[in-house]
Amino acid sequence: MRKVRIMRNKQELESIPVLPLKNSVLFPGLVMPLNVGRPGSIAAVDAASLTEGVNNPVLMLDEIDKLGRDFRGDPAAALLEVLDPEQNNSFRDNYLDLAFDLSRVFFITTANGLESIPKPLLDRMEVLRLAGYSTEEKEAIAFRYLIPRQVKEAGLTQDQCVLSNEAVRQIISGYTREAGLRQLEHTIARVARKAALRHAEGSITPIVVGSENLEELLGPKSFSPEQVRTELQPGVAAGLAWTEGGGDVLYVEATLLPDGRGMTLTGQLGEVMKESAMAAQSYVWSHASDFGIKRAVFRKSGLHIHVPAGAIPKDGPSAGITMATALASLYTGLPVRSDTAMTGEITLTGLVLPVGGIKEKVLAAARAGIRRVVLPSANKKDLGELPDSARQQLEFVFADRIEEVLAATIPQMSERGAGGRASSCGSFVDSPAAAAPCS
């Protein structure tokens, strides 16, 4: 929704939905008897633009990651000619048997993900990633655009249906979980329709929607955001994850299995997260003497790592330092700070590598009540994308090595002298400009 609205607000454009295109003839046209043949989608739009006196239209190919294919061919192959600037100056439509100059057409494609787009086609495009909205941005957009539009659609005036700030915040956090605005607008529309129903039944007073009567209109909340745990047992650490809904706080829980063998992983973890768990255990095991851990515990006990919620599939490298911290806490018996969450990839040599989705992850930490966030030093530049409210609310610790992460998350480890090369590197800062590099 966001990507379409940005473009529609800038310039009038023609849009071709990609979802129903499943064969290669729908772009260049189909040469068959008159009752079946037809011009291609590109030629039809370009011809319509020319009749309006426009030779450089903006053409949007929506949801290009949903391209289908069947026995008649692959439409991605036809799109290569359309999007390649070296070839599209003489694009020929098979039905019309005419060449069209597409070199002056400004093509915009949209997608929800890059995984399903063929690599040769992706090479012809410049990728612009649009981050999800923060809660504050959603709230501002709701009051400025969504609420007035849906109240009008319901046949009411602005005075007949009023939503409070707290009601909108609860709708955002409890009834929607998305990076965009589609579900938020649908939920606001439900509220407006129910307000219209009450007026149709004879109510003459304005319908004021607040936190106290929101559940009466929408029912119980659909989502219960992860709340910060006030106390963490040894073996538990808070991580930050990127999701399609923006971001979330995930707790990694680890426990020892006396007389057990091997490592058990639960919580629908993907292959990358499983490898992160193995790398974290190998690092802690190989540095056991630095952390004051007896090596015999690794041979005599099994290990179980669980990441709630078990019904949600999870994958990605971001949980590496969280798993290493949880295991160091478990084997040393020292708890992790409950006000701290972290994200970053770990290597066998203890390096902390940068990860993506920093804005969404940090905003998720702020929503959950986290006060400190540990990030890879290479991600310091990403703090510039955060709203000022998040930078002022949170303290950031930057780390280049896992020892620095452990020193920041398990203070007792440094106090008792464990941690080998651990240091207190990483300053608590409120803005990227104030961050000092590790020495």
Return d(Cα 233, Cα 194) in angstroms, integer.
46
Q: Which alpha helices (DSSP H) does 154-295 contain, by range?
A: 165-170, 182-200, 214-218, 271-286
CA 352 to each of CA 65, 228, 283, 308, 412: distance values in angstroms, whole numbers, following the listed order: 32, 24, 12, 24, 21
Task: Characterise 221 by phi-psi region: left (phi > 0), alpha (psi -120 to 50), beta (else).
Answer: beta
Return d(Cα 388, Cα 32) in angstroms, integer.
60
In the residue annotation, 361 being an active-site residue is answered as yes
Contact 374, 354 (CB under 8 A): no
Residue carrying structure tokens 């009601």: 167
From 75, 153, 63, 138, select the one nearest 108 (Cα to Cα): 63
- What is the Cα gyration radius of the chain? 27
Strand partners, 257: 302
Pick the catalytic residue: 134, 276, 318, 377?
A: 318
Task: Give helix 320-332 / helix 402-409 axis angle, nearest 10°.
Answer: 60
Length of the chain: 439
Neighbours of 412 (CB within 10 A): 13
Return d(Cα 353, Cα 344) in angstroms, integer.
6
Pick the catalytic residue: 41, 361, 377, 380?
A: 361
Contact 336, 405 (CB under 8 A): no
Phi/psi of residue 423, each to 5°?
Answer: -145, 170
Helix (H) or strand (E) holding 389: helix 388-393
Strand partners, 352: 346
Residue 176's contacts (CB-CB under 8 Å, 6 or more residues apart) are 183, 184, 187, 222, 223
Return d(Cα 15, Cα 108) in angstroms, integer.
9
Pairing state of beta strands 352-353 and 372-376? unpaired
In the residue annotation, 294 being an active-site residue is answered as no
Return d(Cα 246, Cα 212) in angstroms, integer.
27
Catalytic residues: 318, 361
